Amino acid sequence: IIAGGLVMGMAAIIAASYYLAKRAMIPIEAAWEKQQRFVADASHELRSPLTGIHSNAELMLRHPENTVEQESNRIHTIIKESSRMTKLIASLLTLARSDANKTELQLTQVDLSELIELVSEHFRPLEELEQIQLLVDVVPDLKLVGDKERLHQLLVILLDNAFKYTPKGGRITVAGAKGDKNILFSVQDTGCGIQPENLPHIFDRFFREDKSRSRDKGGIGLGLSIAKWIVDMHAGKITAHSEPGNGATFKVSIPVGKLQKES
Ligand code: ADP
Protein backbone atom coordinates (compact mmCIF):
# COMPACT_ATOMS: atom_id res chain seq x y z
CA ILE A 1 0.00 0.00 0.00
CA ILE A 2 2.84 2.36 0.99
CA ALA A 3 4.71 1.60 -2.26
CA GLY A 4 1.48 2.12 -4.23
CA GLY A 5 0.93 5.45 -2.48
CA LEU A 6 4.49 6.52 -3.19
CA VAL A 7 4.16 5.68 -6.88
CA MET A 8 0.85 7.55 -7.10
CA GLY A 9 2.40 10.52 -5.27
CA MET A 10 5.42 10.54 -7.60
CA ALA A 11 3.14 10.31 -10.62
CA ALA A 12 1.07 13.22 -9.36
CA ILE A 13 4.25 15.29 -8.76
CA ILE A 14 5.57 14.49 -12.24
CA ALA A 15 2.21 15.32 -13.83
CA ALA A 16 2.00 18.59 -11.89
CA SER A 17 5.59 19.55 -12.80
CA TYR A 18 4.94 18.72 -16.45
CA TYR A 19 1.76 20.82 -16.38
CA LEU A 20 3.54 23.77 -14.72
CA ALA A 21 6.51 23.56 -17.09
CA LYS A 22 4.15 23.43 -20.07
CA ARG A 23 2.26 26.44 -18.73
CA ALA A 24 5.47 28.38 -18.23
CA MET A 25 6.44 27.54 -21.83
CA ILE A 26 3.27 29.04 -23.32
CA PRO A 27 4.38 32.70 -23.07
CA ILE A 28 7.87 31.76 -24.31
CA GLU A 29 6.39 29.90 -27.27
CA ALA A 30 4.06 32.80 -28.01
CA ALA A 31 6.94 35.30 -27.85
CA TRP A 32 9.05 33.06 -30.08
CA GLU A 33 6.22 32.74 -32.61
CA LYS A 34 5.66 36.50 -32.53
CA GLN A 35 9.36 37.08 -33.17
CA GLN A 36 9.42 34.58 -36.04
CA ARG A 37 6.36 36.18 -37.62
CA PHE A 38 8.01 39.60 -37.27
CA VAL A 39 11.19 38.41 -39.02
CA ALA A 40 9.17 36.70 -41.79
CA ASP A 41 6.98 39.78 -42.36
CA ALA A 42 9.99 42.10 -42.29
CA SER A 43 11.87 39.96 -44.83
CA HIS A 44 8.83 39.87 -47.06
CA GLU A 45 8.43 43.65 -46.89
CA LEU A 46 12.14 44.22 -47.62
CA ARG A 47 12.06 41.89 -50.59
CA SER A 48 9.54 43.91 -52.55
CA PRO A 49 11.46 47.24 -52.75
CA LEU A 50 14.69 45.31 -53.36
CA THR A 51 13.12 43.49 -56.31
CA GLY A 52 11.99 46.84 -57.71
CA ILE A 53 15.48 48.32 -57.40
CA HIS A 54 17.22 45.25 -58.79
CA SER A 55 14.98 44.74 -61.82
CA ASN A 56 14.98 48.41 -62.80
CA ALA A 57 18.78 48.65 -62.52
CA GLU A 58 19.16 45.48 -64.64
CA LEU A 59 16.85 46.82 -67.33
CA MET A 60 18.83 50.07 -67.43
CA LEU A 61 22.06 48.10 -67.89
CA ARG A 62 20.55 46.29 -70.86
CA HIS A 63 20.01 49.59 -72.65
CA PRO A 64 23.24 51.57 -72.25
CA GLU A 65 22.24 53.66 -75.28
CA ASN A 66 19.27 55.20 -73.40
CA THR A 67 19.54 58.75 -72.08
CA VAL A 68 18.79 59.76 -68.48
CA GLU A 69 15.51 61.31 -69.70
CA GLN A 70 14.51 58.03 -71.33
CA GLU A 71 15.27 56.16 -68.13
CA SER A 72 13.68 58.76 -65.86
CA ASN A 73 10.76 56.48 -64.85
CA ARG A 74 13.10 53.69 -63.81
CA ILE A 75 15.34 56.11 -61.92
CA HIS A 76 12.33 57.50 -60.07
CA THR A 77 11.19 54.00 -59.15
CA ILE A 78 14.65 53.21 -57.79
CA ILE A 79 14.65 56.40 -55.70
CA LYS A 80 11.09 55.75 -54.44
CA GLU A 81 11.82 52.13 -53.54
CA SER A 82 15.08 52.97 -51.78
CA SER A 83 13.37 55.65 -49.66
CA ARG A 84 10.75 53.06 -48.82
CA MET A 85 13.50 50.70 -47.69
CA THR A 86 15.16 53.41 -45.60
CA LYS A 87 11.85 54.16 -43.88
CA LEU A 88 11.15 50.47 -43.39
CA ILE A 89 14.58 49.80 -41.88
CA ALA A 90 14.24 52.78 -39.50
CA SER A 91 10.86 51.47 -38.32
CA LEU A 92 12.17 47.91 -37.95
CA LEU A 93 15.09 49.17 -35.87
CA THR A 94 12.75 51.15 -33.61
CA LEU A 95 10.57 48.09 -33.02
CA ALA A 96 13.51 45.71 -32.58
CA ARG A 97 14.97 48.05 -29.95
CA SER A 98 11.59 48.30 -28.26
CA ASP A 99 11.36 44.48 -28.13
CA ALA A 100 14.80 44.32 -26.55
CA ASN A 101 13.79 47.05 -24.07
CA LYS A 102 16.80 48.97 -25.29
CA THR A 103 15.15 52.34 -25.65
CA GLU A 104 15.21 54.82 -22.86
CA LEU A 105 13.05 57.88 -22.99
CA GLN A 106 14.82 61.23 -22.86
CA LEU A 107 12.45 62.84 -20.39
CA THR A 108 12.03 66.59 -20.28
CA GLN A 109 9.13 68.92 -19.74
CA VAL A 110 7.39 69.14 -23.09
CA ASP A 111 4.92 71.79 -24.16
CA LEU A 112 2.58 69.64 -26.23
CA SER A 113 0.59 72.66 -27.46
CA GLU A 114 3.77 74.04 -29.06
CA LEU A 115 4.75 70.63 -30.41
CA ILE A 116 1.33 70.12 -32.02
CA GLU A 117 1.53 73.58 -33.63
CA LEU A 118 5.05 72.83 -34.89
CA VAL A 119 4.19 69.44 -36.39
CA SER A 120 0.98 70.82 -37.92
CA GLU A 121 2.99 73.59 -39.60
CA HIS A 122 5.15 70.93 -41.29
CA PHE A 123 2.00 69.47 -42.80
CA ARG A 124 0.61 72.86 -43.96
CA PRO A 125 1.96 72.55 -47.53
CA LEU A 126 -0.16 69.41 -47.95
CA GLU A 127 -3.30 71.51 -47.43
CA GLU A 128 -2.80 73.04 -50.85
CA LEU A 129 -1.18 70.03 -52.48
CA GLU A 130 -3.84 67.55 -51.36
CA GLN A 131 -6.68 70.06 -50.98
CA ILE A 132 -7.35 68.97 -47.44
CA GLN A 133 -8.15 71.44 -44.70
CA LEU A 134 -6.08 71.17 -41.53
CA LEU A 135 -7.64 72.61 -38.37
CA VAL A 136 -5.73 72.90 -35.12
CA ASP A 137 -7.79 73.36 -31.99
CA VAL A 138 -5.39 73.08 -29.08
CA VAL A 139 -5.50 74.90 -25.74
CA PRO A 140 -2.18 76.58 -24.82
CA ASP A 141 0.23 75.36 -22.18
CA LEU A 142 -0.36 71.60 -22.39
CA LYS A 143 2.75 70.58 -20.49
CA LEU A 144 3.78 67.07 -19.64
CA VAL A 145 6.86 65.08 -18.85
CA GLY A 146 7.86 63.11 -21.90
CA ASP A 147 10.31 62.38 -24.66
CA LYS A 148 9.95 65.28 -27.08
CA GLU A 149 11.38 63.46 -30.08
CA ARG A 150 9.15 60.42 -29.60
CA LEU A 151 6.06 62.58 -29.09
CA HIS A 152 7.00 64.44 -32.27
CA GLN A 153 7.23 61.07 -34.05
CA LEU A 154 3.81 60.06 -32.67
CA LEU A 155 2.17 63.23 -34.00
CA VAL A 156 3.85 62.80 -37.39
CA ILE A 157 2.56 59.21 -37.67
CA LEU A 158 -1.03 60.20 -36.84
CA LEU A 159 -1.06 63.25 -39.11
CA ASP A 160 0.70 61.41 -41.91
CA ASN A 161 -1.97 58.68 -41.79
CA ALA A 162 -4.78 61.23 -41.66
CA PHE A 163 -3.46 62.84 -44.87
CA LYS A 164 -2.81 59.44 -46.47
CA TYR A 165 -6.31 58.12 -45.93
CA THR A 166 -8.31 61.32 -46.53
CA PRO A 167 -9.31 62.18 -50.09
CA LYS A 168 -9.30 65.65 -51.65
CA GLY A 169 -11.80 68.05 -50.16
CA GLY A 170 -11.53 66.44 -46.72
CA ARG A 171 -10.76 67.90 -43.32
CA ILE A 172 -8.33 66.96 -40.56
CA THR A 173 -8.73 68.30 -37.04
CA VAL A 174 -6.05 68.11 -34.37
CA ALA A 175 -7.41 68.84 -30.92
CA GLY A 176 -5.68 69.04 -27.56
CA ALA A 177 -7.06 69.63 -24.07
CA LYS A 178 -6.30 69.13 -20.41
CA GLY A 179 -7.95 66.28 -18.53
CA ASP A 180 -7.91 65.64 -14.81
CA LYS A 181 -4.48 64.04 -14.61
CA ASN A 182 -3.94 63.56 -18.31
CA ILE A 183 -3.38 65.46 -21.47
CA LEU A 184 -5.75 64.45 -24.19
CA PHE A 185 -5.27 64.97 -27.86
CA SER A 186 -6.80 63.60 -30.99
CA VAL A 187 -6.39 63.54 -34.74
CA GLN A 188 -9.66 63.28 -36.59
CA ASP A 189 -10.17 63.01 -40.32
CA THR A 190 -13.03 62.77 -42.77
CA GLY A 191 -11.35 60.03 -44.83
CA CYS A 192 -12.21 56.45 -45.74
CA GLY A 193 -12.39 55.31 -42.11
CA ILE A 194 -11.67 51.82 -40.76
CA GLN A 195 -13.94 48.76 -40.92
CA PRO A 196 -15.23 47.83 -37.41
CA GLU A 197 -13.81 44.29 -37.67
CA ASN A 198 -10.35 45.75 -38.32
CA LEU A 199 -10.28 48.18 -35.40
CA PRO A 200 -8.88 45.57 -32.95
CA HIS A 201 -5.96 44.87 -35.32
CA ILE A 202 -5.09 48.38 -36.35
CA PHE A 203 -2.10 48.63 -33.97
CA ASP A 204 -0.67 45.22 -34.97
CA ARG A 205 2.63 45.14 -36.79
CA PHE A 206 2.29 45.08 -40.58
CA PHE A 207 -1.49 45.26 -40.39
CA ARG A 208 -2.99 47.13 -43.34
CA GLU A 209 -6.65 47.20 -44.24
CA ASP A 210 -5.88 47.49 -47.90
CA LYS A 211 -2.29 46.55 -48.70
CA SER A 212 -2.23 48.03 -52.18
CA ARG A 213 -3.79 51.34 -51.12
CA SER A 214 -1.37 51.63 -48.20
CA ARG A 215 1.60 50.67 -50.41
CA ASP A 216 0.59 53.23 -53.06
CA LYS A 217 0.73 55.87 -50.35
CA GLY A 218 4.12 54.66 -49.16
CA GLY A 219 2.66 52.85 -46.12
CA ILE A 220 4.34 49.83 -44.56
CA GLY A 221 1.95 48.95 -41.75
CA LEU A 222 4.32 49.80 -38.90
CA GLY A 223 3.34 53.39 -38.11
CA LEU A 224 0.55 52.65 -35.68
CA SER A 225 2.48 49.91 -33.84
CA ILE A 226 5.26 52.44 -33.27
CA ALA A 227 2.65 55.03 -32.21
CA LYS A 228 1.24 52.58 -29.67
CA TRP A 229 4.67 51.74 -28.36
CA ILE A 230 5.46 55.47 -27.86
CA VAL A 231 2.17 55.99 -26.00
CA ASP A 232 2.77 52.85 -23.88
CA MET A 233 6.24 54.13 -22.98
CA HIS A 234 4.55 57.29 -21.67
CA ALA A 235 2.10 55.18 -19.64
CA GLY A 236 -0.71 56.51 -21.80
CA LYS A 237 -3.51 55.12 -23.93
CA ILE A 238 -4.23 55.33 -27.64
CA THR A 239 -7.52 54.31 -29.19
CA ALA A 240 -8.91 54.26 -32.71
CA HIS A 241 -12.52 55.13 -33.50
CA SER A 242 -14.22 55.01 -36.84
CA GLU A 243 -17.41 54.70 -38.74
CA PRO A 244 -16.52 53.48 -42.21
CA GLY A 245 -16.95 56.21 -44.76
CA ASN A 246 -17.10 58.77 -41.99
CA GLY A 247 -13.43 59.09 -41.22
CA ALA A 248 -11.26 57.97 -38.34
CA THR A 249 -10.29 59.49 -35.01
CA PHE A 250 -7.21 58.56 -33.00
CA LYS A 251 -7.38 59.61 -29.37
CA VAL A 252 -4.36 59.75 -27.09
CA SER A 253 -4.29 60.27 -23.35
CA ILE A 254 -0.98 60.74 -21.53
CA PRO A 255 -0.52 61.31 -17.81
CA VAL A 256 1.16 64.65 -17.12
CA GLY A 257 3.77 63.09 -14.88
CA LYS A 258 5.77 64.09 -11.85
CA LEU A 259 7.54 67.17 -13.25
CA GLN A 260 4.21 68.76 -14.12
CA LYS A 261 2.90 68.23 -10.58
CA GLU A 262 6.04 69.79 -9.14
CA SER A 263 5.82 72.79 -11.39
P1 ADP B 1 0.53 52.29 -42.96
O2 ADP B 1 1.96 52.54 -43.19
O3 ADP B 1 -0.05 51.21 -43.82
O4 ADP B 1 -0.29 53.53 -42.96
P5 ADP B 1 -0.04 52.13 -40.11
O6 ADP B 1 0.46 51.16 -39.08
O7 ADP B 1 0.25 53.56 -39.87
O8 ADP B 1 0.52 51.63 -41.49
O9 ADP B 1 -1.59 51.94 -40.23
C10 ADP B 1 -2.10 50.61 -40.34
C11 ADP B 1 -3.38 50.61 -41.15
O12 ADP B 1 -4.39 51.32 -40.42
C13 ADP B 1 -3.30 51.35 -42.49
O14 ADP B 1 -2.79 50.53 -43.51
C15 ADP B 1 -4.75 51.71 -42.73
O16 ADP B 1 -5.45 50.59 -43.23
C17 ADP B 1 -5.28 51.97 -41.32
N18 ADP B 1 -5.28 53.40 -40.96
C19 ADP B 1 -4.39 54.07 -40.20
N20 ADP B 1 -4.73 55.36 -40.06
C21 ADP B 1 -5.88 55.52 -40.74
C22 ADP B 1 -6.76 56.62 -40.99
N23 ADP B 1 -6.52 57.83 -40.48
N24 ADP B 1 -7.87 56.39 -41.73
C25 ADP B 1 -8.13 55.17 -42.23
N26 ADP B 1 -7.36 54.09 -42.04
C27 ADP B 1 -6.23 54.25 -41.32
ipTM of the complex: 0.98
Indicate if the pLDDT at residue 226 is higher than 50. Answer: yes
Average pLDDT of the segment spanning 122-127: 95
The predicted pLDDT at position 261 comes to: 46
Q: According to the model, what pLDDT value does residue 48 have?
A: 87
In ligand 1, the atom with minimum distance to the C-alpha of 207 is 10
Summarize pLDDT for 42-69 with one digit per residue, the tens. Answer: 898 899 899 999 999 999 999 999 999 9
| Residue 260 binned pLDDT confidence (cut-offs 50, 70, 90) | very low
**What's the pLDDT score for residue 263?**
41
Between the CA of 208 and the centroid of ligand 1 the distance, in Å, is: 6
Using H for helix, E for strand and C for coil, what is the string for the chain? CHHHHHHHHHHHHHHHHHHHHHHHHHHHHHHHHHHHHHHHHHHHHHHHHHHHHHHHHHHHHHCCCCCCCCCHHHHHHHHHHHHHHHHHHHHHHHHHHHHCCCCCCCEEEEEHHHHHHHHHHHHHHHHHHHCCEEEEEECCCCEEEEEHHHHHHHHHHHHHHHHHCCCCCCEEEEEEEECCCEEEEEEEECCCCCCHHHHHHCCCCCCCCCHHHHHHCCCCCCHHHHHHHHHHHCCCEEEEEECCCCCEEEEEEEECCHHHHHC
Quote the mean pLDDT of the chain.
Answer: 90
Q: Which residue has the higher pLDDT, 4 or 119?
A: 119
- The mean pLDDT of 180-189, rounded to a whole number, is 95
How high is the pLDDT of residue 3? 73
* pLDDT score for 77: 94
Give 95 Cα–ligand 1 centroid separation in angstroms: 17
Determine the residue of 123, 163, 204, 214 to mutate for testing ligand 1's pocket, defined as the one with the most ligand atoms within 8 A of the Cβ atom.
Answer: 214
Query: Whose C-alpha lies nearest to ligand 1, atom 25?
Result: 193
pLDDT band at 258 (very low <50, low <70, confident <90, very high): low
- Give the pocket of ligand 1 (CB within 6 Å): 161-162, 164-165, 189, 191-194, 202, 207-210, 214, 219-225, 248
pTM for the whole thing?
Answer: 0.84
